[in-house]
Structure 1
Amino acid sequence: MFDRSRERAELLHHLRLGRSILMLAPRRVGKTWLINRVAEDVRGRGWTAVLCDVEGMSRETEFLFEICRRIEEQEGLAEKTEGRARQLLNQLFSKDLANGWQEALGRMDWVSFAETLVRGLHERGRDTLILIDELALFLAARLRDDPEGARAFLYGLRRLQQRYSRVRWLFTGSIGLDTIAKRGEIGGALVDLTLYPLEPFEPDEASAFLDFLSSGGAVLHPFALERTAFTHFARELGWLSPYYLDLVAREIRPSGPSGPCGRPLATPADVDAAFEAMLAAGRRPYFVTWEEHLSKNFPRPETDALRSILAACAREPAGERLGTLRARLAGPPHGLDMRALRDLLTILTNDGYLAEVPDGEEPRFRFRSGLLRRYWLRYHIDGGHMDGVR
């Protein structure tokens, strides 16, 4: 139930129909695991799959060189690419790269190179899927350095998608690409992509996944969750991502009697103890990506405003009303009007921090993950640890 079989089938359906895909998912929800499985799925159907991770890159040459490197790594693929594309690949990888590939490439025209390469893959007569992990992070970095170059690059990718139908593209992003597109006025370059949001597990999938972890030896202290314990687990975690299900499962120390499956039962109190263990100072690296995302991918004034919103929403499990947030952020130092506040709330909901919940005449915004909310209270609210906060 937890192998993402439905999602994999849906993605394959779109790819077989000739569609390229933009899969958006917040961090730690399993998108990288999923695209690796999709690559295996299409290879099993006779396709070529080229997997690239472009997080940390900020230049088109880095992006395209990564694609070339991944093609060259696949046994026989460079040799099977015909004509000018094969000549360029041979030229690239015959160079001495000891001093770095940028120096070895010299004045190579990368726009023409990309066109030639994708055309060569298209003309092989075999379907190819190029999977690019973290396109949104690459574009965010590129927009900071060279907005015009970022737009030209993304529209260039769109032209490649339109011209060479036997090469499909699957892009992922762990931050809201709609926000980046709006900031850089590049939304038009995305209109041909099929949008595919990836969500965390449903409760039945999460339950099956926990049972798999415990019965398969993935945890030091095997357990079975009482029914009330799982309900409590799911409610407190909220964000049922495979990553955090796994981490919390490792911390559970069951105290109940042996259950029907032969494993000791974990109680709601055992679940609470596991959550508390996750919040220890030594476990902070488990949450660092949520912190770094705000500081690395947004300008300082936006980062400060985003943190203020999160601080307000973290104080109560139910979150905070839109009107109250507007009143708090309208004055100094943020000075946000409703439109600007809404834009920031869209970022935080798209990126998995918050959920928008209907509540009478105006919505309320609360943390999607109860665990992340507890972490934010402990380490990002003035006063540090808050005893009794749940």
Structure 2
Amino acid sequence: MTDYTKKTYGRNKEVAELFGLFKAGKDISKHGPRRLGKTFVLDRMVEQAGSHGFICLKVEVAGCNEPKMVFRQLCDAIDAHHSIPKRTFTLLKQRVAQVASPRSEQVGQWYQHALGLDWESYLERLLKALHEDKKNQWAILIDELPIFLKALHDKGEDGVKQARDFMNLFSRLRSAQPRVRWLVTGSIGITPLAHAGNYMGVMAKLHHYPLEPLTEAQAIDYLQDLAQQGLPHGRKAITEQEAKAIVDAVGWRAAYYLEAFAHHLPANPESDPAKVQANMNAAMDALLKPYNKARFGTWEEHIRKHHPVQQQGMSFEVLNAIAPHETGLTLDALLAALGNPTLKRETLRKHLMQLIEEGFLYQEPFGDDTAPYRFRIAPLRLWWKLHRPQE
């Protein structure tokens, strides 16, 4: 098992900062583009929590489509956490069981009876028990909250109400049990959901923590360590010249795409600039082959699953228009390229903001109408240009 506390790319600075915010009484919203490493940071927080004076529970809610399922995921996280003292775990189960019939025999999981009854009361009692635990301080890390909320919204008006009620419950429980710290993450835009569901005020109370890509030095260290673990074709090394070239070729220093590129390098490490470039070209060509659709097709799937049906067509049209242009398109150039006389400039701008938030695009400097909108990940742009996904 890798000891990430000793790795430059182990996100140790970010982990320390997040626990520092917890100790300052802050609850945190850590949203950002997909594949940036948000879940990786949560895993490191769970591992390092003890050294910062916390017990962290990571709760994955992307597969939930009912509010009570979040309660079940939280209970499962408690079950799966090996560092919780046995006495503490026993007390937590007892506190939850007391809501209903404290003397009745429990069948199945210790929280099972709560799912068919008033699960909100069980959740409130569980959080109160965490709050009143004098020996430990607890933090709950909710991964992919917006995907769960989107699943509720997709049910229609009743689902939107469910989402609003859940977020209001979340806000109330945060206030009632202030020793319990919270961190929520997401890779799809939560702002449109919060606007539609009228719970922007809940999100505004959270401290926003922006997660940045790896630095160039961290990315190089990551690639060279990756090679030592073994790559296809029997590779055991990536030269510094190759590592720098990979970082330049990918364009976005996210471990997932750095690794994907590295796995397609030819067998022989090279330091000569011409041979390094030949290796980069060969790796990029291999990465864009149809058999790698699973790596890039998730972005197409993201649009189909998480963009409103009436906006999916625009998303594909915008990305298909920008993909042929390595340096991107300005707002006015894109508006002309789309050729839709009914499309308003401000409507397009708002849509581009969503694509930036979700990691498809970037603009530098941000907010400058003369600055082009470009694909954030260079291989994704080339894949999109080559395969042109459609609505």
TM-score (norm 1): 0.87
Offset at 1:340?
Answer: 2.1
Offset at 1:178?
Answer: 2.0
Offset at 1:53?
Answer: 0.6
Report Cα offsets for 1:347-385 as digits up to 9, x if no partner: 110111100134986231010110100111111168xxx
Counterpart in 2 of 1:204?
A: 217
Offset at 1:275?
Answer: 1.1
Equivalent in 204, 208, 226 of residue 191 of structure 1: 204
Report Cα offsets for 1:214-267 as digits up to 9, x if no partner: 23435531333353x4444323211111011111111111546679xxxx9960
Percent identical among aligned pairs is 30
Judged with a 3 Å threshold, the aligned counterparts in structure 2 of structure 1 residues 202 and 46 are, in CA distance, closer, same or farther, namely closer
Mapped pair 1:49 → 2:56 = yes
Q: Please give the alpha-carbon distance, in whole angstroms, between the structure 1 residues aligned to 2:389 and 2:98.
A: 58
Mapping of 1:32-181 within 5 angstroms? 32-74=39-81, 76=86, 77-81=88-92, 84-88=95-99, 94-96=106-108, 105=114, 107-125=116-134, 126-145=136-155, 146-181=159-194
Mapping of 1:312-331 within 5 angstroms? 312-329=321-338, 331=340
SS of the aligned residue for 2:56 comes to: strand
Judged with a 3 Å threshold, the aligned counterparts in structure 2 of structure 1 residues 379 and 90 are, in CA distance, closer, same or farther, namely farther
Q: Which amino acid aligns with 1:380?
A: R
Residues 161 and 167 in structure 1, CA contact (< 8 A), matched pair in contact too = yes
Q: Which amino acid aligns with 1:365?
A: Y
| Structure 1: runs of 5+ lacking an equivalent | 383-390
Counterpart in 2 of 1:276?
A: 285
Q: Which amino acid aligns with 1:80?
A: L
Judged with a 3 Å threshold, the aligned counterparts in structure 2 of structure 1 residues 351 and 93 are, in CA distance, closer, same or farther, namely farther
Judged with a 3 Å threshold, the aligned counterparts in structure 2 of structure 1 residues 168 and 358 are, in CA distance, closer, same or farther, namely closer
SS of the aligned residue for 1:224 comes to: coil
Q: Which amino acid aligns with 2:91?
A: K
Q: Please give the alpha-carbon distance, in whole angstroms, between the structure 2 residues aligned to 1:361 and 1:153.
A: 38
Q: Please give the alpha-carbon distance, in whole angstroms, between the structure 2 residues aligned to 1:51 and 1:89.
A: 27
Judged with a 3 Å threshold, the aligned counterparts in structure 2 of structure 1 residues 221 and 83 are, in CA distance, closer, same or farther, namely closer
Q: Which amino acid aligns with 1:222?
A: K
Report Cα offsets for 1:44-98 as digits up to 9, x if no partner: 344222111111212101111111222233453431328643535997993347x
SS of the aligned residue for 1:347 comes to: helix
Aligned length: 371
Judged with a 3 Å threshold, the aligned counterparts in structure 2 of structure 1 residues 14 and 95 are, in CA distance, closer, same or farther, namely same
- Larger deviation, residues 73-82 vs 116-125: 73-82
Judged with a 3 Å threshold, the aligned counterparts in structure 2 of structure 1 residues 69 and 233 are, in CA distance, closer, same or farther, namely closer
Q: Which amino acid aligns with 1:113?
A: Y
SS of the aligned residue for 1:247 comes to: helix
Judged with a 3 Å threshold, the aligned counterparts in structure 2 of structure 1 residues 24 and 90 are, in CA distance, closer, same or farther, namely farther
Q: Please give the alpha-carbon distance, in whole angstroms, between the structure 2 residues aligned to 1:5 and 1:256.
A: 30
SS of the aligned residue for 2:62 comes to: coil
Mapped pair 1:374 → 2:382 = yes
Residues 19 and 52 in structure 2, CA contact (< 8 A), matched pair in contact too = no
| Structure 2: runs of 5+ lacking an equivalent | 1-7
Counterpart in 2 of 1:239?
A: 252
Counterpart in 1 of 2:5?
A: none
Offset at 1:278?
Answer: 0.8
Judged with a 3 Å threshold, the aligned counterparts in structure 2 of structure 1 residues 330 and 195 are, in CA distance, closer, same or farther, namely farther
SS of the aligned residue for 1:22 comes to: strand
Q: Which amino acid aligns with 2:194?
A: A
